[in-house]
Amino acid sequence: MHPALSVIFFTVVSGAGFGLYSLTAILQLFRLGPAMDRSELLTALITAFVLIVAGLISSTGHLANPKNAWRSFMRVKTSWLSREAVLAVIFFPFGFLYLLGVYLYGAHVPAFFGLMGLIGIVLGFMTVFATGMIYACLKTMRQWNTPLVPANYLLMGLTLGALFHLAIEAYYGANLQFITGVAGTALVMTGVMKGIYYYWIIKTSGPSINTATTFTRATVRLLDVGHTAGTFLTEEFGYQVEAGRLLMLKALVFGFGFILPLILIVAAAASQGAGFLLATLAVLSSLAGKGIERWLFFAEARHVVNLYHGAQHT
């Protein structure tokens, strides 16, 4: 599939926002880790909302006719895209009420505002899950039609959220040992999950020119694609990346997305004065790695229509 920058920005940034909101609310409501004061909580929650809103606004950038975006809310029963849109909108009143509770009462919010925060956590995770399912439900795309996709989306969002949370705690001079452990664990789990996904998609099982034509007793080859120039289908659904470039980009995904941030957050936790700088660099490095990862996610996907344009398999 042809990678769209607006969709890459949306999925990475909004996922980070939902991850930051959910992690902050979980740590505060369940009293996990060092206690956060009102300023830390407000900074983390407001940053989360800025990331979510920026991502959602950018998602309209790939629409041919943005004024028809409202139609995406009309197919909740059949469309994961519609479910994602509805869940993202429903999240805001609950998220804002929890933010209001923190603003009024600090870390010790009353039960009502705590309940709003819990509902916001669930809706945040459900929104990111729905984003992943938009792709995972497509049986015409072998590289997307797997539970690994929504699992990757959830872990990616949680990992970026943990890194943002660590940077905010470093800014306020908090003890970073606990959140470094959380972010480090998330980085390792997400990196392993991404490795499993890359190993899984290199297999050539699935739709092929033989299964498409139902001639399964010999090798079938297309003699003529029926056109002499590129078409919308070949350019949009048959994006090609050289094998060497793919390998280099996957190395950058693991280098910038997981390994370098892990080194930087460990150094930040041990640092006496450069914790915020190192944590910020970890966030930027991970954002760059996740951006490359999401570009590859689209670039490597092959629609079955490619079988009728010369591909032997998807």
| pLDDT tens-digit readout, 147-159 | 999 999 999 999 9
Q: What is the pLDDT of residue 158?
A: 95
Question: Residue 85 — φ and ψ, nearest 5°?
Answer: -60, -45
Element counts in the chain: helices (H) and strands (E)? 11, 0
User: Does 66 or 171 have the greater pLDDT score?
Assistant: 171
The model's pTM: 0.90
> Which domain does 158 fall in, by range?
5-213+230-309
Q: What is the pLDDT of residue 219?
A: 79
User: What number is the average pLDDT over the span 73-92?
Assistant: 91
- Contact between 46 and 99 under an 8 Å Cβ cutoff? The reply is yes
Integer CA distances (angstroms), 50 to 17, 29, 46, 56, 254, in order: 7, 21, 6, 10, 27
Cα–Cα distance for residue pair 75/297, rounded to 1 Å: 25
Q: Is 23 helix (H, G, I), strand (E, B) or coil?
A: helix
Residue at 276 is within a domain: yes
Residue 204 has pLDDT above 70, yes or no: no
Give the CATH number of the domain where residue 32 resides.
1.20.1630.10
The pLDDT assigned to 207 comes to 77
Report residue 298 as tokens: 């689209």
Is residue 161 pLDDT above 80, yes or no? yes
Q: What are the backbone dihedrals phi and psi of residue 208, each rounded to the nearest 5 degrees, phi first? A: -140, 175
Task: Round to whole Å and give the CA distance between 3 and 295.
Answer: 6
Q: For residue range 217-269, what is the model confidence (pLDDT) as tens digits?
A: 777 777 777 777 777 777 778 777 888 898 999 999 999 999 999 999 999 99
Total domains present in the chain: 1
Q: What are phi and psi of 108, to 5 degrees?
A: -100, 75
Whether 136 is in a domain gets the answer: yes
Could you tell me if residue 138 is inside a domain?
A: yes
58-69 tens-digit pLDDT: 887 777 777 777
Domain-located, residue 292: yes
pLDDT over 90 at 194, yes or no: yes
Instruction: Kindly state whether residue 28 falls inside one of the protein's structural domains.
Output: yes
Is residue 130 in some structural domain? yes
> How far apart (Å, rounded) are the C-alpha atoms in residues 229 and 285?
39
- Residues 6 or more apart whose CB falls under 8 angstroms from that of 243 comprise none
Instruction: Check whether 41 has a pLDDT greater than 90.
Output: yes
Q: How many other CB atoms sit within 10 Å of the CB of residue 65?
A: 7
Share of the chain above pLDDT 70, in %: 99
Report yes or no on 225 lying in a domain: no
| 191 within some domain | yes
The average confidence (pLDDT) of the chain is: 90
**Which two three-digit tokens encode residue 117?**
């925060």
Q: Are 294 and 14 in contact (CB under 8 A)?
A: no
Q: What percent of the chain has pLDDT over 90?
A: 63
